[in-house]
């Protein structure tokens, strides 16, 4: 029987091992979800929302315990882990407040005596989630899906099994009825079976582009609604009139948060040539001030990467970039010791054709691309198969808005870090996926938008 290992990225030690489920245990979980779905859908939205408020309270009460578990299993800085738990509680409370309004019937004037649009749940939603934000990614789907009356089954990443089980326990401790939220401890080989199961009505996936393509193919074959949030190579455009101190400080945070392991981290720093050297000097100083170490230590500002294989692949991308002519400004080598550390790094003079230009670098490496002017910066920003987020830095906010509108991305921020927020829709275009999470847009992805006409 296959096993899931929970491994500490700091020292490579095994924390726990779990046996994966075989087909009979999976069948029972799907049957439980199917039995719970009509009862949960028939529960008044106000009651469903009260359950979410209790979930938020449980998250708050167990904040330190859950954050520590996340840090040990995935390597995230403990303060970032606490912030992630807080954000999960926020999204639960947000939908508890807003779901009745988002799900209210929408009256439309037609030739009928009365006509309206009703928003009704689909049933069981399968969530296939990644390891990099092991709580937030799950609650980002679960809060709106459950508030809308759906039930959820979670296939989490195999390297965060303790987080996966802890999330299920939070819902259980909050009194959410049996079958409404379950973690499936299954190997990847059983995922296609779950997608194909007629009791599963929709699929949401966050992860890599290749895996997203496979999920979409399987879901399409079975006519299942999907939302995909895939990779990103976000542009961080610095124009010649930017506040360079502000931009460089934000650049360090945006690239190195979560050890650079974020889809919406800034990855391509597209800097107008006239101020490139001045920006780079400030950026380098901030990067070299990062402190690698134990993520449970409050003094640490750069944790290890989540796995050694991820670090090794990142280093191959960096070495290929250097061989192709990129310039190492700082770092560009694995860290010392047993942990999955990679030195905080900057690659300058990156140009088309290099791996560092074409691919997503998922780790603590910043890619600097120099642009002639604003138009050239926009061209470079859009010269990517990805389109998740992007940022523009300028002291002229009207100019920033014009540039933001030109970026081919699901979100564009002017003089601010790209981030997800329950109040705003989140998702991408091009190879970064389709569909939206969060806000009322995300809630309505997994409902039947149903026309009712009466005379």
Structure tokens at 431: 């190879």
Decide if pLDDT at 444 tops 90.
yes
Residue 336, pLDDT score: 87
Identify the bridge partners of residue 125 per DSSP, sorted by sequence position. Answer: 152, 202
Residue 2, pLDDT score: 78
Long-range contacts of 78-84 (CB under 8 A, 24+ apart): 78/295, 78/296, 78/297, 78/298, 79/298, 80/257, 80/258, 84/133, 84/135, 84/136
Decide if pLDDT at 372 tops 90.
yes
Q: Residue 364: exposed, middle, or buried by beta-carbon count in 10 A (0-12, 13-18, 19+)? A: buried
Mean local confidence (pLDDT), 195-209: 98
Catalytic residue among 73, 84, 98, 229: 229
End-to-end CA distance of the chain: 60
Which of 1-5, 382-386, 399-403 bottoms out in mean pLDDT, i.e. has the lowest? 1-5
Question: What does the alpha-carbon distance between residue 39 and residue 153 come to, in Å, rounded to a whole number?
Answer: 16
The three-class DSSP label of residue 447 is strand
Q: What is the pLDDT of residues 8-58, one digit of tens each?
A: 999 999 999 999 999 999 999 999 999 999 999 999 999 999 999 999 999
What's the predicted TM-score (pTM) here?
A: 0.97
Per DSSP, 208 falls in state: -
Q: At a CB cut-off of 8 Å and minimum separation 6, what does 407 contact?
A: 235, 237, 378, 381, 382, 390, 392
Q: What is the pLDDT of residues 138-157, one digit of tens each?
A: 999 999 999 999 999 999 99
Domains, the chain, ordered by start: 3-230+430-454 (3.40.605.10), 234-414 (3.40.309.10)
For residue 116, give Cα distances in angstroms to 10, 53, 110, 452: 55, 29, 9, 5
Question: What does the alpha-carbon distance between residue 75 and residue 292 come to, in Å, rounded to a whole number?
Answer: 12
Cα–Cα nearest to 192, from 126, 121, 132, 124: 126
Mean local confidence (pLDDT), 61-87: 98
Residue 55, pLDDT score: 99
Whether 229 is catalytic: yes
Q: What is the pLDDT of residues 291-340, one digit of tens each?
A: 999 999 999 999 999 999 999 999 999 999 999 999 999 999 999 889 99
Residue 430, pLDDT score: 98
Decide if pLDDT at 245 tops 80.
yes
**Which residue bears the tokens 């309206």?**
116
**Strand extents, DSSP E, 166-233:** 181-183, 200-206, 225-229
- The percent of residues above 70 in pLDDT, for the chain, comes to 100
Catalytic residue among 49, 92, 263, 332: 263
Cα–Cα nearest to 201, from 229, 225, 220: 225
Decide if pLDDT at 1 tops 70.
no
Decide if pLDDT at 207 tops 70.
yes
Q: Judge contact between 130 and 137, C-beta under 8 A.
A: yes
Q: What is the mean pLDDT of the chain?
A: 97
- The percent of residues above 90 in pLDDT, for the chain, comes to 99
Question: What does the alpha-carbon distance between residue 397 and residue 380 come to, in Å, rounded to a whole number?
Answer: 21
Alpha helices by DSSP H, 43-160:
45-61, 63-74, 78-102, 136-147
Q: What is the DSSP string of 256-325?
A: HGGGG--TTSEEEEEEEHHHHHHHHHHHHHHHHT--BS-TTSTT-SB---S-HHHHHHHHHHHHHHHHTT
């Amino acid at each position: 029987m296959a096993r899931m290992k929970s491994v500490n990225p700091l020292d490579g030690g095994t924390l726990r091992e779990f046996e994966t489920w075989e087909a009979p245990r999976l069948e029972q979980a799907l049957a439980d979800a199917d039995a719970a779905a009509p009862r949960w859908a028939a529960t008044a939205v106000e009651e469903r929302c009260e359950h979410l408020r209790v979930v938020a309270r449980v998250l708050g009460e167990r904040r330190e315990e859950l954050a520590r578990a996340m840090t040990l299993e995935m390597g995230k800085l403990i303060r970032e882990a606490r912030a992630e738990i807080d954000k999960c509680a926020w999204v639960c409370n947000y939908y508890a407040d807003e779901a009745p309004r988002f799900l209210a019937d929408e009256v439309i004037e037609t030739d009928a005596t009365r006509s309206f649009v009703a928003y009704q749940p689909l049933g069981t939603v399968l969530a296939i989630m990644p390891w990099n934000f092991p709580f937030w990614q799950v609650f980002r789907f679960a809060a709106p899906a459950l508030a809308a009356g759906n039930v959820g089954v979670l296939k989490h990443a195999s390297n965060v099994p303790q987080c996966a089980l802890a999330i299920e326990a939070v819902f259980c401790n909050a009194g959410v009825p049996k079958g409404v939220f379950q973690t499936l401890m299954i190997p990847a080989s059983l995922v296609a079976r779950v997608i194909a199961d007629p009791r599963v009505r929709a699929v949401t996936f966050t992860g890599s582009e290749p895996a997203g393509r496979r999920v979409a193919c399987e879901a399409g074959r079975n006519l299942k609604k999907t939302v995909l949030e895939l990779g990103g190579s976000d542009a961080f455009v610095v124009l010649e009139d930017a506040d360079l101190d502000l931009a460089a400080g934000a650049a360090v945070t945006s690239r190195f948060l979560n050890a650079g392991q974020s889809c919406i981290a800034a990855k391509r720093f597209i800097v107008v040539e006239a101020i490139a050297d001045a920006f780079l000097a400030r950026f380098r100083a901030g990067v070299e001030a990062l402190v690698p170490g134990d993520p449970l230590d409050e003094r640490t500002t750069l944790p290890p990467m989540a796995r050694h294989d991820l670090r090794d692949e990142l280093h191959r991308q960096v070495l290929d970039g250097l061989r192709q002519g990129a310039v190492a400004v700082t770092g560009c080598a694995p860290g010392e010791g047993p942990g999955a550390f990679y030195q905080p790094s900057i690659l300058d003079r990156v140009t088309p054709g290099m791996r560092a230009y074409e691919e997503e670098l998922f780790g603590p490496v910043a890619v600097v691309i120099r642009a002639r002017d604003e138009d050239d910066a926009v061209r470079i920003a859009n010269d990517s198969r990805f389109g998740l987020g992007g940022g523009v830095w300028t002291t002229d906010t009207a100019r920033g808005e014009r540039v933001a509108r030109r970026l081919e991305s699901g979100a564009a921020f002017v003089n601010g870090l790209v981030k997800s927020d329950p109040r705003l829709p989140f998702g991408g275009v091009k190879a970064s996926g389709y569909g939206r999470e969060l806000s009322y847009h995300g809630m309505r992805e997994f409902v039947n938008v149903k026309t009712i006409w009466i005379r």
